[in-house]
Chain A
Amino acid sequence: MRSGFLKFAASAAAGAVLALGLGNAIAAETPKRGGTLKFVIPAEPPSYDGHRETTFALVHPIAPFYSLLIRPNPDNPSDSSDFTCDLCTEMPKSTDGGKKYTFKLKSGVTFHDGSPLTAADVKATYDKIIFPPADVSSARKAYFVMVDNVEAPDDLTVVFNLKYPSGAFIPALATPFNFIYQKAKLDQDMKWYEKNILGSGPFVFVEHQAGALFKGKRNDNFYVKGQPYLDGFEGIIAEKQSLRVQAIRGDRAAIEFRGFPPKSRDDLKAALGDDLTVQESDWNCVLIITPNHDVAPFNDVRARRALTLAVDRWGGSKYLSEIAIVKTVGGVAFPGHPLAATKAELEQIAGYWPDIAKSRAEAKKLLQEAGVDLSKTYVLNNRGVDQPYTIVGTWLIDQWKQVGLNFEQRVQPTGPFYDTLRSKRDFSVSLDFNCQSVVNPLLDISKFLSNDVSDSQYGGYIDRDVDDLFNKMNQEGDQAKQREYMRQFEKLTLDEHANNFITLWWYRIIPHRAYLKGWNISPSHYVNNDLANVWLDQ
């Protein structure tokens, strides 16, 4: 036993040394200037306005044209609490008891049309996001409920005054969709940015061929000296996953920033060997089991608890991660985040017990007590997307069969799927989806609130206990207290009230051409896409 431990310690130490050495070697590489990065994008954005849209298809080709006030650290994006300045000079400490944040801006920053970027532009941008006019849509207005107002006392100072201290503010500010727009354009037309691009980011917009391509060229006046390294980029729209995989194999593209399933990674690795680098990370996306609280039998908390108790998450993680883009067992908060549950804490929650036999026995007992008709076949509503919807759906049906529950999977295209969730509501259980950008558990969990509070909750329940905990958590400045509230929230949502349930957190796999350097994987396909520090070793 002792010898085994020593061997483990020695190999761990050797591994750490190797990793450090490798890290230093990577850090020591000097970026080369030049070249055009080609990457594939699975979809096309509806408009160019980051404040309005929610899709990654906007971020991948358009983020390189814009600056942000702050962002996740591009050199360390996997740390979900490491934020750094983009346009500001240093990350501010809050004042006024956590209710005031003062940002100093870099001087000499210009938009691509040559006009200077000032605090007035930043204020106009955040006013549009936080307090949009009646006819202007802002997808992230709700992220800033804590903000009272935004001020620009001089050209290089922006002040955010909050109504109350909030741990959710800084991550919300770092959201990659918060592109800084030019005040003059917004004054002219609040919707100007839906059809036009004018930023201050590392690349200048060249062209967009609808359905085909986005092209950008280096911004020679970029405010980070020496960056960007690339001469330009081409984002090629390719909807079919198999084609995107082959495009990397055939070197028509160096990377796809969303993520591939394990099989594609393995195929590419087998074909390209050392010409391929693979980066992997937990992913801030998760499929949620959503029982319909309006209809029997899942309007009964016992029947709902049975649903989660039947699912072997710990076992499923091992096998599903080999075929699908899911892997990590977690609660409502992104795994690994300071607010997330530890394994020991998770094991106290129904559906996460280490002994699956005991869990399923309890599920059977609850089903019997609730009088659930086991001869009936219930409907699992699912979205017609393989990765990972239908794979996870098929797995769940098998899990529920273990306790005598029979489900049929009704797979629908995205349009009818949402129509079922929001209007028809003729399902027993549905899979639902929560996918956020910057890891911000305090807000990411708003999906679990009562449906008169959250328009994105499709279970149809009202749960004021959960709403109250959410509000307390978001108005609490102390992280230890936040964590305590988060555990209570999690226990209520997933176990005691059994409102809805987490399946497995997604797992992001990015195989890319080895000559692409400087890009680091993050827990979100929305984050770290401005390409300023990316270079080609060719």
Chain B
Amino acid sequence: MYTYLVKRLLMVIPTLFGAAVLVFFLMRLIPGDICELKLAGSGAFFDQRSLDICRAELGLDDSALLQFGQWVGGWFVGDLGTSMWTGKPIGEEIALRFQVSLQIAVMATLFSIVLSIPMGVLSAVYRNTWIDYVVRSLSIAGIAMPSFWLGILIILGILLTTQAWTGSPWMPPIHYVPIWVNPAENLAMLIWPALATGYRYSAVATRMTRSAMLDVLREDYVRTARSKGVMERVIVNRHALKNAMLPVITVIGIEFAFLMGGLVVTEQVFNLNGIGKLFVGAVGQSDYTMVQALVMLVAFIFVMTNLLVDLLYAWLDPRIRYS
């Protein structure tokens, strides 16, 4: 087990290096120059002198290989570099956003698990009944509806409803406050995006749970348990559910990693100062160093989440052994 773990951790290095090479050189193929954007983006005049100063300050005059070497070299001393747009340390910029994205990802995941597993199980146990039809309709709707669109509907719904009830419209806060500073304000802001993304997330997990449960419920050992007169509740909860969880956990793991870096539009809809919004902003601003750091962060989260999921497999299924 430990050998397996060490091997997997060592494989992280070439994976991340490959991602680093890709993102570094692909970013430089995208047309656009951060200095032109800074100087001309607001319609103001600028001169070649300002452009030259800006490029020299950002090191854009250096060769691409030198820039790459400096960037990768920085990792070994824990230096992620500075944002080309703001000039601030990237670690500082990301840390601020990371807590927002993490909280949303955790809340959405919890919401999804609470919703999807019971619904998926019910749908499988009562397949082809009205319960199954309702669950399948809800899950298909969840997959079909983009979470940002649902988010827009939620905000509009809240505004219209509160205006109709109280006479003055209310909307969720648009500025993040940490949960330990003001829990009510924090939840008033984050509950809605967590619901919007969690619903879509749960739809995928519900379908996966249903499908896995149906497979497991057809297994010989389940039939044997039934023939021995074991209660259906015990069969489902104790024997079937745990075994059906393998693919569900894979889906939950991938979705969690996706939420950590991919809530691009939903974060804008709710004005969440998260990683996704930072990502889009950095791409739009040609902030190479920031995009590079964020890609590496997301790649790292994906790699570690996959490793965790693989380790969970062994716990859930005693037949799986790592050596």
Contact = CB atoms under 8 A, between A and B. Distances in A.
Given A139-B50, A250-B159, A250-B169, A239 B277 contact: yes
Contacts of B278: 211
B11 interface: no
Interface string A164-180: 00000000000000000
B170 A250 contact: yes
B96 A211 contact: yes
B268 A240 contact: yes
A138 B45 CA distance: 11
A114 interface: no
Contacts of B174: 40, 236, 238, 243, 247, 252-253
B296 to A, nearest CB: 19
A6 B246 CA distance: 86
Interface in A426-455: 433-436, 446-447, 454-455
Nearest to A143: B45
B50 A138 contact: yes
A289 B97 CA distance: 40
B169 A56 contact: no
Given A209-B273, A413-B284, A418-B40, A136 B163 contact: no
B32 interface: yes
A416 B32 contact: yes
Contacts of A239: 268, 271, 277, 281
A212 B43 contact: no
Nearest to B151: A243
Interface in A452-475: 454-456
A148 B307 CA distance: 67
A246 B155 contact: yes
A135 B54 CA distance: 9
B60 interface: no
A504 to B, nearest CB: 15
B221 interface: no
B32 A413 contact: yes
Contact of B47 (A142, A194, A212, A414): A142
A220 interface: no
Given A249-B171, A252-B174, A242 B40 contact: no
A377 interface: no
Contacts of A323: none
Nearest to A56: B42
Contact of A436 (B37, B44, B46, B269): B44
A21 interface: no
A96 B36 CA distance: 40
B165 to A, nearest CB: 14
A4 interface: no
Contact of B37 (A211, A238, A418, A433): A418
Given A47-B87, A252-B174, A454 B32 contact: no
B237 interface: no
A168 to B, nearest CB: 13
A55 B167 CA distance: 38
A447 to B, nearest CB: 7
Contacts of A252: 171, 173-175
Nearest to A136: B53
Contacts of B50: 137-139
A139 B39 contact: yes
Nearest to B38: A46
Main secondary structure of the interface of A (DSSP, over half): mixed
B171 A246 contact: yes
A434 B43 contact: yes
A456 B43 CA distance: 9
Interface in B150-190: 152, 155-156, 158-159, 163, 168-171, 173-176
A414 B41 contact: yes
Contacts of A209: 96, 273
A250 B36 contact: no
A447 B54 contact: no
Instruction: Give the contact-size bracket for chain B.
Output: 35 or more
Nearest to B285: A415
Contact of A210 (B92, B156, B158): B92
B171 A210 contact: no
A199 to B, nearest CB: 19
Contacts of A238: 174, 271
A54 B42 contact: yes
A365 B39 CA distance: 41
A57 B42 CA distance: 9
Contacts of A271: 159, 163, 169
B310 interface: no
B28 interface: no
A282 interface: no
B43 A415 contact: no
Contacts of B33: 415, 418-419
A136 B34 CA distance: 17
A234 B40 CA distance: 27
Contacts of A416: 30-32
Nearest to B51: A455
Contact of A234 (B44, B175, B286): B175
A197 interface: no
A205 to B, nearest CB: 16
A195 interface: yes
A238 B173 CA distance: 12
Contacts of B273: 209, 211-212, 237
Contacts of A247: 171, 174, 271
B63 interface: no
Nearest to B162: A250
B270 to A, nearest CB: 8
B44 A54 contact: yes
Given A135-B53, A251-B170, 11 more contacts: A46-B87, A54-B39, A137-B49, A194-B87, A210-B88, A243-B155, A250-B170, A250-B171, A251-B168, A251-B171, A415-B34
19 contacts: A135-B57, A139-B45, A139-B46, A210-B92, A211-B97, A211-B273, A211-B281, A240-B271, A250-B158, A250-B159, A251-B168, A251-B169, A252-B174, A252-B175, A271-B169, A414-B41, A419-B31, A454-B45, A455-B45
3 closest residue pairs by CB, A with B? A415-B32, A250-B171, A435-B43
